[in-house]
Structure 1
Amino acid sequence: MQKTILTPDICVIGAGSAGLTVAAAAAAFGVEVVLIEKDKMGGDCLNYGCVPSKALIAAGKAAQAHRNSAKYGVKANEPSIDFAAANAHVRNVIAAIEPHDSVERFEGLGVNVIQSAARFVDAETVEAGHYLIKARRFVVATGSSAFVPPIAGLNEVPYLTNETLFDQTNRPDHLLIIGGGPIGMEMAQAHQRLGSKVTVIEASKALSNSDPEFAAIVIDRLRAEGVDIREGANVEKAEKSENGVRLTLKQANGTIDYVDGTHLLVAAGRSANITNLGLDEAGIKTHSKGIEVDKGLRTSNKKVYAIGDVIGGLQFTHLAGAHASLLVRTLLFRMPVNHHKLVIPFVTYTEPELAHIGMTEQEARQVHGDGLKVLTADFSGNDRALAEGKTVGKVKLIVGKGGRLVGADIVGPQAGELLAPLALMISKKMHVKALLDLMLPYPTLTEVLKRAALSYYAGAAESPWLRRLLAFLRKLG
């Protein structure tokens, strides 16, 4: 059968966050766009990642709030968990968002949506279903998938990834989780709160990409809630057991241990979706983590760009969206961009939440040396946190030479929301005193940021120079 040749201005491969953003923006300016997706519109975030995980976390929070209500004078018994209903909540949230990412919506925007697998057949042509697409520019936005580590016997036992976890309508009696990163820890706490027994196995340190002091606060909270977190343990083998799965663990000291569970979740990281795309035929270079791009997100094939998880590095929906926004400027307006300059925030949605943006304290010390100031404040000194009984956590502001905010860490209630003003300050290279000039409503959690900023001027009242100046001004009457 002869294939139909299409010649759009832009061809986007992948209808996740990054691809949808490029397609919608280009179509809004009247640019002809072909969007190719072989699976579900909305990609990993809507169907298997951010949206369902946060919906399940919300269900877990509701259960935990019930358990903790007595301290507020509201007496309650252990909540009765309907796991199928919690799963229905997850499905309902996805269904509410789906129309925004649907084929119908994008076709209504003027995008030509092809529901098929895509593959480069040469440097200038993509094949998808009954079509050959010869576009002026191509955008690869195929995202990433759960990485399955090479553990002996793993392929012979039933296991879950984020792509299958949210299909579970029956509560796991004992959920084993391989991986103590953000996904593993979020799902550990959510399932523990919804009545499962949970064991997390982490080869090094749980939440190792976060500030160690702040990560420890989250880990202590999860352990207090009953999550069994085993750090420094390598999974040597997986095998079927009478009730589900048995894992053989090797501890750092060489000790062999075993753990049995009814269900197994593999949350050991992500890998870029680059197979079966015909990248070699298109002359597109790759590296160990994904597609190789320059600062402008262009691949070794000058007609092809790559954005989002598929290029490796940090893998967040908001980063994919930022890549897409940069690329629209380049593709439509020929503006030079540099994705290396993006200041990337990230949040682990446990309770308490764990948030970070900009430089870590260690990175900042290497750059700013003795000129660095680290300002902190505890939530225990915040009136709103006290009123709500959520006083565990703290803020760290990392201030470089000249008083400019260069990084921040927060662990505590609504840390992700509190990160917003700090993200603005860092992106706009603002001085920490901007927080002091800001009037905030009382009582709010945001005041903890201002309290931390105030310590930038700690000791000023004892300055001999300032005291002499005040004495002089008093003499003036």
Structure 2
Amino acid sequence: MDQALQGESLMEKPRRFDRNLVVIGAGAAGLVSAYIAAAVKAGVTLIEAGAMGGDCLNTGCVPSKALIKCARIAQQAREAEKFGVELSEPRVDFPRVMLHVRESIAAIEPHDSVERYTGLGVEVLQGRARLVDPWTVKIALNSGGEQVLTARAIILATGAEPLVPPLPGLDNVDFVTSDTLWEKFAGLDRVPEKLLVLGGGAVGCELAQAFARLGSRVTLVEKAERLLPLEEREVSEAVEQSLNAEGIEVFTAHEAVSFEKASAKVRAPDGERLLEFDQLLLALGRRARVSGFGLEALGIVEDGKLQTDPYLRTRYPHILAAGDLVGPHQFTHMAAHQAWYAAVNGLFGDLKKFAVDYSLVPRAVFVDPEAASVGLGEQQAAERNIPYEVTRYGIDDLDRAIVDGAARGFVKVLTVPGKDRILGVSIVGENAAELIAEFVLAIKHGLGMNKILGTIHIYPTMAEANKYAAGNWKRAHAPERILRLLERFHRWRRG
């Protein structure tokens, strides 16, 4: 027995278990894990201390996209004159905007509710879970009292929380994060006049644009040399150009070092500057939520980090983890993807186990125009010494984009030199997060550019951009020798 299990946590493995699986956390990873377990008729208990649906439903994907929709409507009203429709400057009723956010959450809540999962065969307990040994979970029930369960397998799906750095003066600033802004802003009559956003990742860029469109004067600060540093440089540049065009002041290669009540001192390569704000929004990333679950005592967490193997197993093979707690990609769709592996490996791993497939993870940034990517980018390919060719198609040439007033952006495809096999794709443009799906399918199933080109795409649609990108690839790889022979053949046929 490991030293971590000495003392009151020392316990032999039970001969019988109350459950086949206990899942801690009812976000995307936990919900899908519990659903799969119930579908294969395992005895499963799902434990959640807070709201069902986790961060995605309550403070992440759903509220942010509802806010972005309201902001887009406001921007469309401003741009209506381009289409011959004269409208005055839109008046933003911010309490009504926040009501739309809450109504959106409420409409989706039944999908993740206790009632739905109970109906699916999952026992749902609302309370705070703590592992007292590798097989035993003690639940402090929200309704009072405690319940203790033993489980043959346990899945940790506790999620992540916004990163708040220990910067001087930050404790004296009334800041918000992507988790807390929804509750605080629900009580505001209007958006903050001057909003400072720290962090130029997906969350920072999305919220900066949304609040600018709703009426805030927004300043965005990013420590890296460019926005969205994990994306292709062209994607970063396109997003920054869009933000600048809407009046957002963007400072890259700038780092906040200290705060006063309504100002931030920011260090830049050329010195320091002071940025004033009415409201500070921290969007500096998220860290795994590991404290308070008894994981440290079991030696599962060290220095605030939880380690898992390729099968999502911790140091105890029957204790697994999935979702934002694990990473490396903190996306809802990745959490759901990992949940399958966690559930199957937890229930059947002693018979057959499966390593998580991270080879194809699509991602999107829901700014306007959207940015979406899948597979390798040029930087990644170069770092791995993978040869590639680049094919581009400018969406400004696309008929549907032109008539929609959305003629901006591009499709960029990396392929194996001389072959049509797709290595990676980046798209910037209207509905890019939808357009990327065709390439995800193509890469997943080994379909190349020729197959995309040979597929009928409805005219006029944005999806034709994918076909035209394939057409550009085909033209660049035309069989010149055969074409010269055909030219001679047709000249001969003319007599």
1:194 to 190, 194, 214: 214
After superposition, where does 1:82-231 map in structure 2 within 5 Å?
82-129=93-140, 130-167=146-183, 168-169=185-186, 170=188, 171-204=191-224, 205-231=226-252
1:303 to 318, 323, 333: 318
What SS is found at the alignment partner of 1:115? Answer: strand
Cα 1:317/1:407, change in 2 over 3 Å: same
Cα 1:108/1:256, change in 2 over 3 Å: same
Query: Quick check: 1:352–1:411 contact (8 Å CA) kept in 2?
Result: yes
Q: 2:49 aligned with 1:30, yes or no? A: no
Q: 2:279 aligned with 1:279, yes or no? A: no
Cα 1:435/1:367, change in 2 over 3 Å: farther
Output the CA distance in 2 between the equivalents of 1:473 and 1:328.
Answer: 63
Q: 2:86 aligned with 1:75, yes or no? A: yes
Q: 2:454 aligned with 1:443, yes or no? A: no
**Any idea what the Cα deviations from partners look like across 1:230-281, whole Å, max 9, x if unmatched?**
11211111121xxxx211111122x221111111111000000011221133
Output the CA distance in 1 between the equivalents of 2:422 and 2:303.
Answer: 34
Query: Quick check: 1:282–1:301 contact (8 Å CA) kept in 2?
Result: no
Deviation at 1:211, TM superposition (A): 1.0
Deviation at 1:369, TM superposition (A): 5.0
Deviation at 1:344, TM superposition (A): 0.6
Range 111-120 or range 193-202, more displaced: 111-120
Q: 2:342 aligned with 1:336, yes or no? A: no
Range 226-235 or range 69-78, more displaced: 226-235
Output the CA distance in 2 between the equivalents of 1:461 and 1:124.
Answer: 62
Cα 1:29/1:228, change in 2 over 3 Å: same
After superposition, where does 1:355-394 map in structure 2 within 5 Å?
355-365=372-382, 369-370=386-387, 372-394=388-410
What SS is found at the alignment partner of 2:368? Answer: coil
TM-score of the aligned structures, taking structure 2 as reference length: 0.90
What SS is found at the alignment partner of 2:250? Answer: strand
Q: 2:484 aligned with 1:467, yes or no? A: yes
Query: Quick check: 2:154–2:346 contact (8 Å CA) kept in 1?
Result: no
TM-score of the aligned structures, taking structure 1 as reference length: 0.93
Query: Quick check: 1:56–1:190 contact (8 Å CA) kept in 2?
Result: yes
Query: Quick check: 2:25–2:48 contact (8 Å CA) kept in 1?
Result: yes
What SS is found at the alignment partner of 1:390? Answer: coil
RMSD of aligned residue pairs (Cα, Å): 2.0
Partner of 1:236: 257
Query: Quick check: 1:6–1:132 contact (8 Å CA) kept in 2?
Result: no
Deviation at 1:453, TM superposition (A): 1.1
Deviation at 1:282, TM superposition (A): 2.7
Query: Quick check: 2:320–2:346 contact (8 Å CA) kept in 1?
Result: no
Deviation at 1:133, TM superposition (A): 1.8
Deviation at 1:326, TM superposition (A): 2.5
Partner of 1:56: 67
Structure 1 runs (4+) greater than 6 angstroms displaced? 473-477
Deviation at 1:225, TM superposition (A): 0.7
Q: 2:58 aligned with 1:47, yes or no? A: yes
Q: Which runs of 5+ in 2 are unaligned?
A: 1-15, 141-145
Output the CA distance in 1 between the equivalents of 2:124 and 2:478.
Answer: 65
- Size of the aligned set, in residue pairs, is 466
**Any idea what the Cα deviations from partners look like across 1:300-351, whole Å, max 9, x if unmatched?**
1111010111013110000000001223333445543222444111100000
Partner of 2:282: 266
Output the CA distance in 2 between the equivalents of 1:87 and 1:66.
Answer: 19
Cα 1:190/1:311, change in 2 over 3 Å: same
Cα 1:453/1:111, change in 2 over 3 Å: same
Give the counterpart letter for 2:324 in structure 1: D
Q: Which runs of 5+ in 1 are unaligned?
A: none
2:446 to 411, 418, 429: 429
Output the CA distance in 2 between the equivalents of 1:6 and 1:294.
Answer: 25
Range 6-15 or range 326-335, more displaced: 326-335
Output the CA distance in 1 between the equivalents of 2:341 and 2:487.
Answer: 51
Query: Quick check: 2:36–2:343 contact (8 Å CA) kept in 1?
Result: yes
2:429 to 399, 412, 423: 412
What SS is found at the alignment partner of 1:208? Answer: coil
Cα 1:470/1:332, change in 2 over 3 Å: farther
Cα 1:312/1:231, change in 2 over 3 Å: same
Output the CA distance in 1 between the equivalents of 2:74 and 2:358.
Answer: 41
Query: Quick check: 2:153–2:347 contact (8 Å CA) kept in 1?
Result: no
Output the CA distance in 2 between the equivalents of 1:287 and 1:447.
Answer: 50
Give the counterpart letter for 1:224 in structure 2: A
Output the CA distance in 2 between the equivalents of 1:174 and 1:6.
Answer: 56
What SS is found at the alignment partner of 1:377? Answer: strand
Query: Quick check: 1:6–1:131 contact (8 Å CA) kept in 2?
Result: no
Range 73-82 or range 212-221, more displaced: 212-221
Query: Quick check: 2:376–2:423 contact (8 Å CA) kept in 1?
Result: yes
Query: Quick check: 2:389–2:416 contact (8 Å CA) kept in 1?
Result: yes
Range 337-346 or range 13-22, more displaced: 337-346
Deviation at 1:468, TM superposition (A): 2.1
Range 156-165 or range 73-82, more displaced: 156-165
Give the counterpart letter for 1:291 in structure 2: L
Output the CA distance in 1 between the equivalents of 2:194 and 2:166.
Answer: 23
Output the CA distance in 2 between the equivalents of 1:460 and 1:471.
Answer: 20
Q: 2:336 aligned with 1:321, yes or no? A: yes
Output the CA distance in 1 between the equivalents of 2:429 and 2:43.
Answer: 46
Query: Quick check: 1:368–1:400 contact (8 Å CA) kept in 2?
Result: no
Deviation at 1:296, TM superposition (A): 1.1
Deviation at 1:476, TM superposition (A): 8.9
Range 459-468 or range 146-155, more displaced: 459-468
Deviation at 1:40, TM superposition (A): 1.1
Give the counterpart letter for 2:197 in structure 1: I
Query: Quick check: 2:450–2:474 contact (8 Å CA) kept in 1?
Result: no
Partner of 1:257: 273
